[in-house]
Amino acid sequence: MNVRILLADDHAMMREGLKALIAKKADFEVVGEAENGKQTVELARKVGCHVVVMDVAMPDLNGIEATRKLVKANPNIKVVALSGHSNREFVREMLKAGASAYVLKSRAYEDLVRAIQEVMNGKKYLSPDIARGVVDEYVEISASLSKNPAFVVLTDRERESLQLIAEGKSTKEVASALDISVKTVETHRRNIMEKLNLQSVAELTKYAIREGITSVNA
């Protein structure tokens, strides 16, 4: 049986490199490509993939939220997180969201194929640089790392709104992207700022980057 793989990364050159790497395995097949989290969720439903190689920092819907949606819709799907970030919060949230592996982009050539093989065998996989000191630690990392942790304090919809706001989208653009009214977006923004005790979009943006909701490079 061929392992059907969906590649999700907002950089076309990165996807090309991953395809070339995966093509070396006769039983691996790339069945789709996505450039943002929203597209990933939609495409995964259509192509019937076994594994999604998921960039953590993507526009519109980040890899953490996309993973959460994918695994909720299909618990059998395997997500291999691919990231340039070794930050403990990124690792923790991806694993909590349902990812089965976390591979650093700097080690993709060495680790990605093995990671896919491991998750298809029902195992977990972390790049060595991540695994050192993290495996025993990530479960115990509590909300104390952040005074107001986004994945505890905010609802799913508020987190999605926060990402788009932090990425510079206007209220109308956020409403269109999430298929909700402008009034609802304004309500989400007000609730977010009240919950987090933040006063400006600049503060929201800093918070979103710190919490792994979005990235400066998204």
Note the pLDDT tens digit of each residue in 193-215: 999 888 888 889 988 888 888 87
pLDDT, residue 39, reads: 96
Q: Does residue 137 surpass a pLDDT of 70?
A: no
Q: Average pLDDT of 117-144?
A: 73
What pLDDT was estimated at residue 72?
95
Give every CB contact of residue 70 below 8 A, 6+ residues apart in sequence: 40, 41, 44, 52, 77, 79, 98
Longest pairwise C-alpha distance within the chain: 54
Beta-bridge mates of residue 4 = 29
pLDDT tens across 84-116, in order? 887 778 888 999 999 999 999 999 999 999 999
Give SS3 for 74.
coil
Q: Are 83 and 102 in contact (CB under 8 A)?
A: yes
Residue pLDDT, tens place only, 144-160: 445 567 777 889 999 99
Please tell me the predicted confidence (pLDDT) of residue 217: 58
Helix (H, G, I), strand (E, B) or coil at 203: helix
Q: pLDDT-derived band of residue 134, with 50, 70 and 90 as boundaries?
A: low
Domains of the chain: 3-140 (3.40.50.2300), 145-210 (1.10.10.10)
Residue 138 has what pLDDT? 45
Least confident of 67-81, 98-112, 130-144, 165-179: 130-144
Torsion of CA 128, 20, 81, 63, to 10 degrees: 150
Pairing of strands 51-55, 3-8: parallel
93: buried, middle or exposed (CB in 10 Å: 19+, 13-18, 0-12)?
A: buried
What is the average pLDDT score of the chain? 89
> What pLDDT is stored for residue 145 in this prediction?
47
Indicate the pLDDT class of residue 30, thresholds 50, 70 and 90.
very high
Structure tokens at 179: 């298929």
pLDDT of residue 216: 58
